[in-house]
Each structure stands twice: as C-alpha cells, then as structure tokens.
Amino acid sequence: MDQPLSLKLASLCQISQYKLEHILSQCGEKADLIIDPVLIKPLERICGVTWLRQHGIDKIYKMDPQLGSTSNTRRIYFIPACIKKYKCVLDQISSLLSLNPAQADAKCFNIIIVPKFVCTFDSILENKGLYEIVKLHSFSWELMRLDDQLLSLEVPFLYKQLYVEKNQSLLSSIAMSLWSLFHVIGKPKCLMSLGKMSSSVLDLLEVYNETFTRDFVSNNTDDIGAVLVIDRDQDYSSSLLTPATYSGLLSEIFNINCGHLELNVKETKLKKGKLNFTTSKDETAKTAVMSLDSSIDHLYGEIKHRHFSEVLSVLSSKAKLLKNEDIKALGIQEMKQFVATKLQQVTLFKQNLVNHVLASETIISEMNNKFENLTLTESEMLNNRNKRANFTYIDEHFGTDVHMHNSLRLMCLLSLTQGLTYEEYNSLVHKYLLAFGYKFLYVFNNLITSGLLVQPSSPKLSLSNLSNLSDRLPKWQTEFQTVANKLKQLPTKSDSAKSPSYVFNGGYIPLVAVICNALLTSESLAELLTKLSALDDLKIGGSSVDKAKRGMESLNEKITNSNTKTDSENGYRDAKTLLKTLKGDSRTMFTLKPRTVLVYMIGGVTYAEVAACDVIQSVTGSRIIIASDCIASGSDLIAANM
C-alpha cells in the first residue's frame, strides 16, 4: 500500500461512493432522487448520473418546496443537516401522505442527510408522526480533494452552526472524517489542537479509535508526521484581511462552489453587495465555469499562489508561447499528429488562458482603485498605528461605497486589532442600517457572538452585563498585537527571500503558517512549545510527545476524572503545562517523520492561508496538506452571520 499520498487523497471519493452505495442499497429499487441544489456539486465528485442509475435511481429532481408529484412513489431526499430544510422535506412528505394515505405503509420515503442526522432530527420525525414511515440515513462523505494538497469536507454551513449558533452537533463529523482519513494515510505521531472545538474533535477521534480499536487493522502506513486541528476563531485576521494572491482575489470577486468558479464578470460578489443605483438589469449572460484544480488546469497551478501583480506577466508569457506554436508552420503528417495528440490540449490551454485573463481583468477593474488604500489601512490596523485615520477611512467607506459584507469585515478587523469606542461603533452601525435596512440590527449581535466583533462597553451598561460580556470574548483579541508580535506574525521591514506574509501584501503571516513553521523547524519539544507559548488553548499529544510521559488516558478514565478536572485529557496535554515540566529539558528531541503536516481548519480555510503554507513547505522542504470543512473567504464568514 505504498501508493503516492496525492493519489490516495484523490481516491478518498471511492470510500464516499462505497458508503453511498450502502445507503442506496437499503432504499429499494427504482426511486426518485430529490436533491438539495447545494449538494449537487459535491455529489458530482463522488459519483455520476450513470452510477446513480445503476444503483436504483430513476429520475433526479432539485429539491423545491413546491415540488409536486414525481414519476416514482419511492423517494430519496438528499439534504444537508439543516433543520429548516429537513422540516421542509417532512412537510412535503406529510402533504403527499394526506393525498394518498396508503403510502404510509409502503416505506417509500428515505432522507439522506449530510454529514449526519442529529438527535433533534429523530424527535422531529416522531413529533410529526412520521416515525417508521420515513427512514433517515446519515451520509458522512469523506474529505474531497479540491486541488493538490487541498481537502475539503464541503459542508459550508458548518461555520454558522459552530460559531454563530454555538451548536457543536456536527463536530463529531469532523472527527469521523479524520478517523477515516487516518485509516488510509496512517496515524500521525504528533497531534495538536488549537482551540476548544479542535480539542473536542481530538477527544471525539479517541472515542472512534477506542470503539473500533479491537478491529483496527493497521496497514503500517505513515504518510503524515503531524496533524494540527485549529479553530477558525483562533485567527480571524487571516479571514478578514484582503488577500493579495491570485486565488485569494478570485474568491473575493467570484462565487466558488466546491472548487468550481463561476466566471460571472458582470455580477461579481463585490457588485452584488453594494447599493444598486442603476435601474437597468443586465441580462444574465452564460458564464463559464473554471475548475480550480491544478491537476486539470496546470496554468492555474502556476499562478494560483502568485502575488496578483505577477499574474498578468505570467499569462502574457504563456500567450507568447502559444503564438509561436501556430499550426500553419506544420506539414501534413505533423498536422495529423498535432490534431491527434495535442490539439485538444492546446485548445483547453487556450480556454484556460482566456478565462484567467478575463478573471484578472475583472479583479483589476473592481479592485485596482481601492486595493492600495485598503491594504495600507489594514496594515496600519494590524500594527496599531494611526487609529483615528483608520477609523475615518472605514467611517467614510460606510458612508459611501458601503458593501454588505466587506464593510463589516473592515469594522471587525479594526475592532479586533485596535478596538472601537462606543461612539465609533454606533456611528458605523447607524450608517450600515441606513444603507441596508434596520432589519440587520441582529447581525451585529451575531458578529459579537462569533467573536468577530468586540462590543464596546456602553457607559450605561450595568456591572452584571459587563462581566457577562468579558466571559464571551476570547482573551487574545484584546492583546492582538502582543500575541501577534510574540508569534512574529507582523513582519518588520524585510527585503529578501520569500515570506508567507506576501499573501497579505506583506502585512501579516497567517497563524497556520507560523505553527507549521515551528513544527517543521524545532529540534526539541521544549523549543516547539516555547515558540508557540503565546497561544492559549494549545494542546498536544500522540506517541512522539507521550513516550517519555504518562500513558494515554482512556475515555473511561477521563469521564471518571471529569468532575475533578485533571489537566490531561485523553492523552492530550495542555501545551503550557507541558512546557513547565519540560523546563530546561532540551534533550526530548522532536523530529517530524515524515516531514508532512496535515492542517485541519474548523470553520473554513482561506486561499491566502493555503498559499502561505505553500511558502513554508518550500522553505522547509516539507509537505503541508490543508483540510477544512470548506474554503471560505472573509465575506463568506460575514455572510454566515446574517
């Protein structure tokens, strides 16, 4: 089983397909598949229509509350784990049953829920009298390979549930995806978590490991040396900042769904979020779809991580090469050969080239005037300089070219890095509500809950409210610069070699890149932990850490101990406590073998972070694989709070 890692990751969809096959085999022959539109693209990565037909699906419909009768009585609904959508399906089934009560005994209704159904789904089913009439299936598909070294679980609704609604019901799905993955690529010897949810994910991973341990068949692979699971709110700045890389800017301007970009140059994400002053409506033009996958589009692979200022010159040099490859100069035989082997390749290449140029043009026309001032202001905020000017910039922005998501992004960034006074906060809120409607008043509370915004204390707030608030605010936010400086995230004037900070125009190094760098360059455990000592909520475990320490604590022990609150949890040790016991001990060597790190971001990773890790891996001669529940830009994060 020594296949290359990249091929193994790409083949994970085979396991997903196997899992789906097992579910479909329980749903009976000849059924209609009714699929929620958001699941179409991910499903396409698991199986095709032909495959579905071979496995009992007759017709396929898009889920629509108004959907009438379909060609078969047997129905399989395919929806994400969202209560609202689930209730909608149940209502539809109820109304079908009221027309034709005999169907109740036919057991012809199945609902497949991605990634799993939770306890409330069961009780709602019971409550609506549909228990035993409707059968629920959890479909926990595996991580999907979107690009080289980029994996996604494609459950984009997870951020909202976890961080805005504070509901961790689907956290076990993250753990399960890791559990499956480790069966394929081996268990890493070092496991780290940063943040409370990540810590829970590793605990849940232990539950799966323990439950199925007696049957665990080790295949002796060890493709990765370490895994880092990290909560999105540990580094919100990397989401909020404006990226300077090509792929990062693509995600600012265009809709990207499951690795496919809709090249809609007229209705961009930037335009749609602003006040519309024109009455004329552009007819919806047919838009091309670009696949953001380097193995399909090599050109994309070459430019995706580049600073945007370099992209056009690369595209231009490619165009010059193409010009030289004109077929006029070819003889008949050569021409035949060309048509048979290279023509399609060249045509595809040209199409990709054209798409990238169109995309770049759109980026320039929408960003060029603003980019310079925007990134300059962001950099000033990060470094805690010119607060008044930064606020004025944002306040003017709210009063003029205000954007539904991106303006809030700036507000959040200022709030996290330099803070907002009560008056400043209200000035922005007022302008925003005038522009987009008072109905969005609640959005600011959601942003506070998810930790993106810090509520300034009102002069009139009572003491009880105050203590309540400070509990809810992660502490690192108030000392943003202190922590960022300790971790060397804010580059000073530097002028040679490549720094990962280029992804934010030289202003900031994403936290994941800092941690990966520490993991890959530390020689002893003490050194690693010292480098990362500014981080709260960092936990570390696994055989490379525990050799010299106490053995792993089993789940049973953990629960027995849960009342006495011991510091060790499932063998994962709090990094700060561990560092104390290691004081002066530089002998505990720490070597990553193999030099491959898996980063799993809970709540959506950004393209800028992926690019930053790419720098680290080339500098340290290692490999970094990024996984997340989805790829989310800053505006996606803000939109999840609406």
Partner 1 sequence: MDDDDYWNTSETKAKAFSFDDDVLSTREILAIGQKSHPGQSVDSVFTTLNDARTELLPISSLVSPKVLDLMILAQSGRDPNNIKDSEQTLAITLKRIILGRSFSLHQYKSLRNKTELLDGTISIGDGNAILTVVLYLIQTLNKKLVYELLSARPLALNHYISFLQTEGKITELTDLLTMLGRSSEAAVFQFQHIVKTQGNSIDGLLRKVNNLLSNHFNQPGMDAHQNKMVADYIKLLEWQKCSSIPELYNASALSCLLHCVTHHWTEGAGNMMSPLTLCQRQQVTPLQYDWVVLNIHANTNKWDVVESLFTKKDWLGRTTVSSHIPIETLISRLSELKASVQIIATCLNKLTNTEDRLRLAQKYKVS
Q: Beta strands 57-62 and 596-602: pairing type?
A: unpaired
Least distance to partner 1, CB of residue 197, Å? 7
Least Cβ distance, residue 262 to partner 1 (angstroms): 13
**Given 255, 485, 521, 588, the residue binding partner 1 (CB under 8 A):** 521
Q: Give the distance, in angstroms, between the CA of residue 242 and the centroid of all CA atoms in the same chain.
A: 17
Residue 445 engages partner 1 in binding (rule: CB under 8 A): yes
The 3-state DSSP class for residue 540 equals strand
Check residue 558 for interaction with partner 1 (CB under 8 A).
yes
Q: Which position among 92, 110, 149, 172 is part of the footprint of partner 1 (CB under 8 A)?
A: 172
Is residue 33 close enough to count as binding partner 1 by CB under 8 A?
A: no
Torsion angle in degrees (nearest 10) through CA of 511, 514, 516, 522? -150
Residue 294 makes contact with partner 1 by CB under 8 A: no
Is 204 a binding residue for partner 1 by CB under 8 A? The answer is: yes
Q: Which residues of 254-272 are buried (b: 16+ CB within 10 A; e: fewer)?
A: bbbbbbbbebbbebbbbee
Among 330, 461, 473, 483, binds partner 1 (CB under 8 A): 461
How many residues of this chain bind partner 1 (CB under 8 A)? 150
Q: Footprint of partner 1 on residues 572-631 (CB under 8 A)?
A: 619
Decide: is 531 part of the binding site for partner 1 (CB under 8 A): yes
Shortest reach from residue 182's CB to partner 1, in Å? 10
Smallest gap from Cβ 324 to partner 1, in A, equals 10
**Among 463, 466, 464, 462, CA closest to 454:** 466
Using a 10 angstrom Cβ sphere, with 0-12 exposed, 13-18 middle and 19 or more buried, the burial of residue 306 is middle
Residue corresponding to tokens 């108004």? 66
Closest distance of CB 612 from partner 1, Å: 12
- Site residues for partner 1, 237-266, by CB under 8 A, read 244
Rule CB under 8 A: which of 364-403 touch partner 1?
Answer: 364, 367-369, 371-372, 375, 379, 396, 399-401
Decide if residue 292 touches partner 1 (CB under 8 A): no
What's the closest the beta carbon of residue 557 comes to partner 1, in angstroms?
A: 9
Nearer to partner 1, 168 or 255 (CB): 168
Stretch that binds partner 1, among 61-69, 117-125, 150-158, 603-611 (CB under 8 A): 117-125
Q: Which long-range contacts (CB under 8 A, 24 or more apart) does 388-395 make?
A: 390/414, 390/418, 391/420, 391/424, 394/428, 395/424, 395/427, 395/428, 395/431
- Would you say 36 or 96 has its CB closer to partner 1? 36
Binding residues among 314-373 for partner 1 as defined by CB under 8 A = 315-316, 319-320, 322-323, 327, 343-344, 346-348, 350-351, 353-354, 357-358, 360-361, 364, 367-369, 371-372
Q: What are the phi and psi torsion angles at 600 (to 5°)?
A: -120, 110
Count other C-beta atoms under 10 Å from residue 366's C-beta. Answer: 18
Binds partner 1 (CB under 8 A): choice among 137, 189, 403, 573? 137
Structure tokens at 364: 């320039």
Of the pair 316, 591, the CB lying nearest partner 1 is at: 316
In the set 220, 281, 438, 583, which binds partner 1 (CB under 8 A)?
438
Quickly list DSSP for 397-441: HHHSS-BTTHHHHHHHHHHHHT---HHHHHHHHHHHHHHH-GGGH
Residue 551 is a binding residue for partner 1 (CB under 8 A): no
Binding-site member from 36, 147, 154, 293 for partner 1 (CB under 8 A): 293
50 binds partner 1 (CB under 8 A): no
Question: Does 295 help bind partner 1 (rule: CB under 8 A)?
Answer: yes
Sequence-ordered list of residues with C-beta below 8 angstroms from that of 548, at least 6 positions apart, any chain: 588
In this structure, the strands spanning 134-138 and 109-114 are: parallel
Q: In what order do the strands lie in the sheet with 75-80?
A: 57-62, 31-35, 75-80, 109-114, 134-138
Q: Burial code of 573-606, b = ≥16 C-beta within 10 A, e = fewer? A: bbbbebbeebeeeeebebebeebbbbbbbbbbbb
Q: Does 65 bind partner 1 (CB under 8 A)?
A: no
Residue 211 sits in the site that holds partner 1 (CB under 8 A): yes
